[in-house]
Amino acid sequence: MTETTAEKLRAELEAVFEEASYPVEEPMELASVLPDGPSTTFEADDVSVGVMEFGSEYADYQEYPYESAEALVDDLMAGFREEGLFE
Total of domains in the chain: 1
Residues 12-49 pLDDT 10s = 999 999 999 999 999 999 999 999 999 999 999 999 99
Whether residue 87 lies inside any domain: the answer is: no
Percent over 70 (pLDDT), the chain = 98
CATH number of the domain where residue 12 is located: 1.10.238.80
Element (H, E) at 41: strand 41-44
Domain-embedded: residue 28? yes
Q: Are 5 and 45 in contact (CB under 8 A)?
A: yes
Expressed as residue numbers, the domain containing 22 is 5-82
Instruction: Determine if the pTM surpasses 0.85.
Output: yes
Identify whether 38 is preceded by a cis peptide bond (ω within 30 of 0): no
Q: How high is the pLDDT of residue 87?
A: 65
pLDDT of residue 86: 78
